[in-house]
Amino acid sequence: MPDVTTDITVARDQAADVRFLDDFAALSAFGATPAGGVERQAATAEDGQTRAWLAAWLAERGFTVVNDKVGNQFGLFEFRPGAPYVLAGSHMDSQPRGGRFDGAYGVLAAAHAADRLRTHLADQPADAQPQFNIAVVNWFNEEGCRFKPSMMGSGVFTGKLALQKALDTTDVDGVTVQEALEGLGELGAEDVFGGGREVASYAEIHIEQGRELDKTGTTLGLVDSTWAANKYEIAVIGAQAHTGATAMEDRHDALYGAALAVVAVRELADRFGEELHTSCGQLTVVPNSPVVVAREVHMHLDLRSPSDELLAEADALLRKQFAEIEVKAGVEIERRFAHTWKGQLYQPGGVELSGAVADDLGVSRMLVQTRAGHDSTNMKDMVPTVMLFIPSVEGISHAEAEFTADEDLCTGVDVLTETLARMVRGALT
Amino acid sequence: MPDVTTDITVARDQAADVRFLDDFAALSAFGATPAGGVERQAATAEDGQTRAWLAAWLAERGFTVVNDKVGNQFGLFEFRPGAPYVLAGSHMDSQPRGGRFDGAYGVLAAAHAADRLRTHLADQPADAQPQFNIAVVNWFNEEGCRFKPSMMGSGVFTGKLALQKALDTTDVDGVTVQEALEGLGELGAEDVFGGGREVASYAEIHIEQGRELDKTGTTLGLVDSTWAANKYEIAVIGAQAHTGATAMEDRHDALYGAALAVVAVRELADRFGEELHTSCGQLTVVPNSPVVVAREVHMHLDLRSPSDELLAEADALLRKQFAEIEVKAGVEIERRFAHTWKGQLYQPGGVELSGAVADDLGVSRMLVQTRAGHDSTNMKDMVPTVMLFIPSVEGISHAEAEFTADEDLCTGVDVLTETLARMVRGALT
């Protein structure tokens, strides 16, 4: 790590905390649900409202707001014209009846941190300006519920997903990403980065969505690795029949086959213990009539592990079990990978930098893994990256009851501010 | 059975067969699917088209067409003004991608049979006219897929279901039965029967939807009893969470609970053998996102048996298994009966009458049970009833591949015609 001047002076003060919490409350009103969550799936009207609000917030403070061709929303601020950017952010889209912290906290924290840097450096002479500029990002469609796959915006940005494929993706009503973004006026015409404007490094802060920090009473998680994930699209093919009249032995019940698969997937996790998470969250029955044996079931399976080897072993077992289910239920099971990523390390330099910041600010910290994918999972393969977690009470996430205390929210903004202050001065590059 | 004059002369001739098959082909065009089935769920545009076609067909032949307050469609023809009616019919609505024979065959067979009677008796003097009149009926919403419960029209007609409750029933889009029927101009203003106009007896013919007739090479099934059925609405309540991040032990996965229930329901059938049919055909996941552990699953279970005692035993076992699933999956399971009926006998007189007709016409016949509910299941509790089956190849039903040979279709119309001829002359009353 280069030797850099720290900027402890940009850290926390009470007025900054109040401003942040006020803004977070304002942001949480878009798509608010009665039980304290938000529902603003990608490129819906509610997502559009949060994007408009963020654009106005950034523009008022002198950031140049520009969207790229897949709807990633950037707020750019130059300290040194033409220099590369330190990028910070997360996503503002949510799950159906999701929590108000997941993603949105990270974008707002980045916006506030960048603005504190801007304010702090405004009075400095030109030769005291940092070597990198700062940019805030709101990645498009991190959640992947309305449009699959997840982490779509950062996937296109990092070249892992083709732009046109992303734009052509449809929701259940057949609306494409392109149509939805154009409808909101949120589809940009340029690439924003590349072609002269470069990203030097990336930082993201997010609620943990697990309970390690909450359980141990630690304020900051330094993410040093990400779990591997296998996501599958499964089709179970049976034959339509009468639920009452058709003899049991004559049935090819796609839903029975699917239910056996859901149980098998869950039992895989029981078998491997804490090192494997498995789930089926999406399952659609065709024709879904009370008196018709289902002819097809479509489902989405999600297997995650810190170990690529264990995941491969689970995959092989699942394949074997599906073959048995095909015989038992008299159905055919088609499976294909929808999205996979290997378990990977975050750059040790990012862990070291944010650890030093935490120590300097007197914030308790520990190393953590991320089981969930984040936009930083993509970004870390492109530029040096810092990924930070703050506690999520009882690990609740993707649910309205998701909660993080104000104190932790504000401490997180401080740590991010100081981390970015060091990054624009060359730390991590 | 009273001693009645038979009317063998109304039975089959080649021209009548051609007319019937032509009309059946015309009828099968409404809501036709590419694979030879039909899709015309209750009170959809396609159901409206079949109803309009039937109304025109009946009116052209001198029947008075009138709908009652729940959309049951009647074609009335008087031989003897003011006399009670022998009613015959079935239903023309279908399952999603259903077969073209289920229900529609029975209505058209009744229409042709009634018309043959009308033609045959037109030249007879007044004192040779039969003691009862004839009416054709197309019962509203027998299938119960768009609007639950099934057998809705005959349920209201026989006083088993309150009219207002039926009219207020909504589909998944929140459209009520009343709105849907009014939208088609198919909601009648009167009761049609009762208040001076009475039903003397009822006859229905239907494809078997099982394989007893097909397996034994028998042309006619005389239905002597109906299986008992328990239909349940089930809600599995869990808690929304992140599919990847949330620790397995912290999950309350509604879809895992539901999958265990679907498997348990199927295994009940394995345990009791041929005397129990079980199914889950409808299952809806909330919120149904690929990366969200489901918070709720709603499903519809269907258990049927010829034995009320066995069904009660299965019900008790299911209750016990659901309690175990609640613990295993960390969910709550709410269950309520949506619709139940006891196993019941059809009147032996109806079986005797149709058996005699079959013998007189030289048609092979056997006693059969019905596992499916039919409108006659309701009607037999109100008036003397005949229920007939013709073969369904391989027992396929509620599917596009449903098939019955022309020969069997035409023989069925003959048997029904002769049966009705005897019924209007007083048989069965």
Task: Give pLDDT, residue A126.
Answer: 86
CB of A114 less than 8 A from some CB of B: no
Q: Which of residues 351-370 of B touch A (CB under 8 A)?
A: 370
Question: What is chain A's alpha carbon radius of gyration, rounded to the nearest angstrom?
Answer: 23
A250 inside domain = yes
Whether A381 and A240 share a structural domain: no
- Residues A239, A244, A247, A248, Cα dihedral to 10°: 70
SS3 of residue B88 by DSSP: strand
pLDDT tier, A93 (very low <50, low <70, confident <90, very high otherwise): very high
Cβ <8 Å between A242 and B209:
yes
CA distance B359 to B162: 41
pLDDT tens-digit map of A135-150: 999 999 999 999 999 9
Task: Give pLDDT, residue A11.
Answer: 52
CB of B399 less than 8 A from some CB of A: yes
Q: Which of A347, A355, A424 is closest to A380 using CA atoms?
A: A347
pLDDT tier, A179 (very low <50, low <70, confident <90, very high otherwise): very high
Whether A86 and A157 share a structural domain: yes
A376 inside domain = yes
Closest CA of chain B from A311, distance in Å: 13
Cβ <8 Å between B262 and A255:
yes
In CATH, what number is assigned to the domain containing residue A23? Answer: 3.40.630.10
SS3 of residue A223 by DSSP: strand
CB of B247 less than 8 A from some CB of A: yes
CB of A285 less than 8 A from some CB of B: yes
Closest CA of chain A from B171, distance in Å: 12
Q: Which residues of A touch B241 (CB under 8 A)?
A: 396-399
pLDDT tier, A2 (very low <50, low <70, confident <90, very high otherwise): very low
pLDDT tier, A245 (very low <50, low <70, confident <90, very high otherwise): confident
B158 inside domain = yes
CA distance A367 to A103: 20
Whether A214 and A303 share a structural domain: no
Q: What domain range is A155 assigned to?
A: 8-227+343-424
Cα distances (angstroms) measured from residue A382 to each of A226, B156, B396:
15, 67, 57
Closest CA of chain A from B134, distance in Å: 30
B281 inside domain = yes
Whether A18 and A86 share a structural domain: yes
Task: Give pLDDT, residue A9.
Answer: 53
pTM (two decimals): 0.82
Which domain-ending residue is among B289, B318, B341?
B341
Cα distances (angstroms) measured from residue A220 to each of A75, A171, B250:
26, 36, 22
Whether A174 and A298 share a structural domain: no
A98 CB-near residues (< 8 Å, 6+ apart): A37, A38, A39, A143, A398, A399, A400, A402, B292
Cβ <8 Å between A398 and B263:
no
Nearest CA in chain B to A238: B399
CA distance B277 to B190: 39
Which domain-ending residue is among A341, A371, A391?
A341
Whether A197 and A287 share a structural domain: no
CB of B44 less than 8 A from some CB of A: no
Which domain-ending residue is among B298, B317, B341?
B341
In CATH, what number is assigned to the domain containing residue A321? Answer: 3.30.70.360
The CA-CA-CA angle for residues B400, B406, B407, to 5°, reads: 140
Task: Give pLDDT, residue A307.
Answer: 93
**Pairing between strand A133-139 and A85-91?**
parallel
Contacts 24+ apart (CB under 8 A), A312-318: A314/A230, A314/A268, A314/A272, A314/A276, A314/A278, A315/A230, A317/A268, A318/A264, A318/A265, A318/A268
Task: Give pLDDT, residue A5.
Answer: 45
The interface predicted TM-score of the complex, written ipTM, equals 0.82
Whether the CA torsion A357, A363, A368, A370 is positive or negative: it is negative
How many CB pairs below 8 A link A and B?
A: 255
Task: Give pLDDT, residue B3.
Answer: 37
Choose, out of A211, A243, A275, the residue to mutate when testing the contact with B (most B CBs < 10 Å): A243
CA distance B349 to B190: 32
Pairwise pLDDT comparison (A374 vs A13), residue with the higher score:
A374
pLDDT tens-digit map of B191-235: 999 888 999 999 999 999 989 999 999 999 999 999 999 999 999
A3 inside domain = no
Closest CA of chain B from A417, distance in Å: 26
B2 inside domain = no
pLDDT tens-digit map of A122-137: 888 888 899 999 999 9
Task: Give pLDDT, residue B25.
Answer: 97
A258 inside domain = yes
CA distance B70 to B137: 13
Task: Give pLDDT, residue B243.
Answer: 87
Whether A261 and A387 share a structural domain: no
Whether B413 and B356 share a structural domain: yes
Closest CA of chain B from A211, distance in Å: 8
Per-residue tens of pLDDT for chain B, all 429 residues: 333 445 555 556 789 999 999 999 999 999 999 999 999 999 999 999 999 999 999 999 999 999 999 999 999 999 999 999 999 999 999 999 999 999 999 999 999 999 999 998 988 888 889 999 999 999 999 999 999 999 999 999 999 999 999 999 999 899 999 999 999 999 999 999 988 899 999 999 999 998 999 999 999 999 999 999 999 999 999 999 998 889 999 999 999 999 999 999 999 999 998 899 999 999 999 999 998 999 999 999 999 999 999 999 999 999 999 999 999 999 999 999 888 888 889 999 999 999 999 999 999 999 999 988 899 999 999 999 999 999 999 999 899 999 999 999 999 999 999 999 999 999 998
Cβ <8 Å between A247 and B274:
yes
Whether B172 and B241 share a structural domain: no
Mean pLDDT of chain A, nearest integer? 94
Cβ <8 Å between B372 and A262:
no
Closest CA of chain B from A266, distance in Å: 7
A429 inside domain = no
Task: Give pLDDT, residue B182.
Answer: 97
Bridge partners of residue B228, in order along the sequence: B305
Cβ <8 Å between A290 and B370:
no
CB of A321 less than 8 A from some CB of B: no
CA distance A38 to A27: 10
What's the whole-number mean pLDDT along residues A224-250? 93
Q: How many domains does chain B have?
A: 2
Q: Which of residues 191-230 of A touch B (CB under 8 A)?
A: 208-211, 227, 229
Task: Give pLDDT, residue B7.
Answer: 56
- Residue B399: which of A208, A239, A247 has the nearest Cβ? A239
Give the helix/strand (H/E) hosting A388. Answer: strand A385-390
pLDDT tens-digit map of A3-60: 344 555 555 678 999 999 999 999 999 999 999 999 999 999 999 999 999 999 999 9
Whether A93 and A38 share a structural domain: yes
Whether the CA torsion B278, B282, B287, B291 is positive or negative: it is positive
Whether A177 and A302 share a structural domain: no
Whether B197 and B332 share a structural domain: no
SS3 of residue B276 by DSSP: coil
Choose, out of B398, B400, B402, B403, the residue to mutate when testing the contact with A (most A CBs < 10 Å): B398
> Exposure pattern of A3-28 as b/e (b: 16+ CB <10 Å)?
ebebbeebbbeeebbeebeebbeebb
CB of A232 less than 8 A from some CB of B: no
